[in-house]
Structure 1
Amino acid sequence: MVKVQVLLSSYNGAAYVEEQIHSILQQQYPPISMLIRDDGSSDETPELLKRLEAAYPDRITVMIGNNVGVVASFFELLQHSDPAAEYICFCDQDDVWLEHKVESGVARLKSAIYTEVPAMLFTPAHLTDEHLNRLGVWPKPPARQPSFYNALYENIAIGATIMMNATARNLFVNSRKPNSSNILMHDWWFYLLVSAFGTVIYDHLPSMLYRQHSHNVVGGSNTLFGKLKSKWASFKRHTGTDLLRKQAQEFREIYGARLSSEKREQLDLFLSSRRSLSERIRYISRSKLYRQSHAENLLFKFFILIGFI
């Protein structure tokens, strides 16, 4: 059986991280190792992790670091990840993995067509409260296929569900390290990267319990009010502040020369100046970029027309 390595970044996660780690160690797929980086916790998380490392020395390796933020922390984990691992998983500290998660992911990615090119798999999750009572499956399936043209505008991959092959990992590790301050989230960066050069796979089968509590970095909701609130918060975070443009520019500088001519043309079009209304109308007519929701597509185009993006 091929090796799988799980990368976990922790920060003040003592309340839940041990339960999460045990759900990984109890996976139906046994050859799993964990590389855990603590991002400068001020609670007892580092001591708890060190105890678990001592209890499972062949399966858990712990790195204690300074607080650099979730994106930089995951990027550092990738730089130190096992080059012999065939598959890499991202992991959050406060969720619980279902027993089939790793086995199902390996089965989907093991096909020969997904070994020579970068490949990434993601799934929905069972949304739960802090006590793991299930609230429903979240998010709903993508309305359109995952692609680079979607990834420039929108992230649809829950980071904690992502499994990627070694080819995707090596593409990242063997390239210039991105400036994490220009990256919206580590999972979004990998959706961009893998969709640009390989295959992104959506599996409809939920793979974990996604715990919602007051300290979530990114949360989900299945209520109408919750969805609207989440979407509005996302628009406020990602528009009008040049964050999408900075992320796209960072991607252009690192990987632009390797892109196909069509993808590079669309990326450059997105990065182009749109100072006048006529330039913004011309951009909308030529752009192939899209969001999954028809309503969000219209809203995004409206923001472009008024010069907000």
Structure 2
Amino acid sequence: MKQVQVLLSTYNGEHYISEQLQSILRQSYPNISILARDDGSTDCTTVFLREYSEENPNRITVLTGSNIGVVPSFFELVMHSDPQADYYCFCDQDDVWLEQKIERAVNMLDSKSDKIPAMVFTATKLVDKELHSFGTWPKAPSKQPSFYNALIQNIAVGATITINRAARDLFVNGYRVDPSRIIMHDWWFYLLVSAFGNVIYDQRPSMLYRQHGNNVVGGSNSFFDKLNQKYRSYLKHKGKHLLVSQAREFYRVYGHLLDDEKREQLELFIAPRQRFREKIHFLQRSKLYRQSILEQSLFRFLILAGYI
């Protein structure tokens, strides 16, 4: 039976970590281990982690470290993951996994070659602090997941992602990434796997995505509210050019491995666009896309306005 390792990053999660660990241990798929890394918690999170590890010594391993942030913490987990496992699941501290989450992911990944990087991601059930459901998020992608989408939009919720060993090894064996240039760890793996392998979307929710003060997503807002949030976010970070910075980091690390078409599109995106004709040239040749017509229109506007 294939071996699955859950990669759990925690930080001040004492209120929810027990429910999450229990939901992992109750999974219908039996061959699971957990590698947890605490990112410098100041509450009782590490106490709970150690208690569960002592009760399940063959299934749970706990690493502790200083507070380095969510992206470096997950990258540390991948770097310390078991190289002999077959699949790896990203995991947040405050959600609850549905019982067949891992089993379904394993079945989907088993249908793909284990020599090629692959990942599965799913929808989620939005819930409040008491786990009362109020919707499904996000909506199914209207277009196929691909590298040309991943360069400018992340559609993969990190805690729903399961990757295979080939994806893990591609990251680990060439690891020289600057985490400060990465927007989020899940986005980076969507880029990585879509560039070199297979990205699979499962529309069935795989977990309860708990909404509280620290992680509220736009799932319950109107589309135009979310579009306005995205626009304001671009304006807030307009001087940082986060999308281009992340894309340049990807080019630095993996550009030499890309096929000609992907490399050409990536080089087109990261090239300077100071003059208006350079922006028009980019839009005429670019194959990059977001998942909706309005979001695509916003992307084109932000290119012309110089925010991207």
Give me the TM-score of the superposition, normalised by structure 2.
0.97
> What is the number of equivalent residue pairs in this alignment?
307
Letter in 2 for 1:13: G
Match of 1:175 in 2: 174
The RMSD of aligned alpha carbons is 1.4
Query: Kindly tell me: are residues 283 and 292 of structure 1, through their superposed partners in 2, closer, same or farther at Cα, counting changes over 3 Å?
Result: same
CA distance in 2, matches of 1:134, 1:5: 28
Match of 1:157 in 2: 156
Which whole-Å deviations, capped at 9, do the CAs of 1:129-157 have from their partners, x for residues lacking one? 11110011100000100000000000000
Whether 1:81 and 2:93 are equivalent positions in the alignment is: no
Match of 2:21 in 1: 21
Which whole-Å deviations, capped at 9, do the CAs of 1:262-290 have from their partners, x for residues lacking one? 00000000011111101100110000001
CA distance in 2, matches of 1:89, 1:65: 20
Aligned positions of 1:45-60 closer than 5 A: 45-60=45-60
Aligned positions of 1:252-271 closer than 5 A: 252-271=251-270
Whether 1:280 and 2:275 are equivalent positions in the alignment is: no
Query: Kindly tell me: are residues 26 and 236 of structure 1, through their superposed partners in 2, closer, same or farther at Cα, counting changes over 3 Å?
Result: farther
Unaligned runs of 5+ in 1: none
Match of 2:33 in 1: 33
Match of 2:99 in 1: 99
CA distance in 2, matches of 1:242, 1:62: 36
Query: Kindly tell me: are residues 119 and 215 of structure 1, through their superposed partners in 2, closer, same or farther at Cα, counting changes over 3 Å?
Result: same
Query: Kindly tell me: are residues 265 and 182 of structure 1, through their superposed partners in 2, closer, same or farther at Cα, counting changes over 3 Å?
Result: same
Match of 2:165 in 1: 166
Whether 1:206 and 2:200 are equivalent positions in the alignment is: no
Give me the TM-score of the superposition, normalised by structure 1.
0.96
> Which of 199, 218, 221 does residue 219 from structure 2 map onto?
221
Contact 2:227–2:295 (Cα < 8 Å) also in 1: no
Letter in 1 for 2:219: S
Percent identity between matched residues is 57
CA distance in 2, matches of 1:12, 1:22: 18
Which whole-Å deviations, capped at 9, do the CAs of 1:159-189 have from their partners, x for residues lacking one? 0000011000000000033111000000000
Superposition misfits of 4+ residues, deviation over 3 angstroms? 225-240
Contact 1:212–1:220 (Cα < 8 Å) also in 2: no
CA-CA distance at 1:219 after TM superposition: 2.4
* SS of aligned partner of 2:34: strand
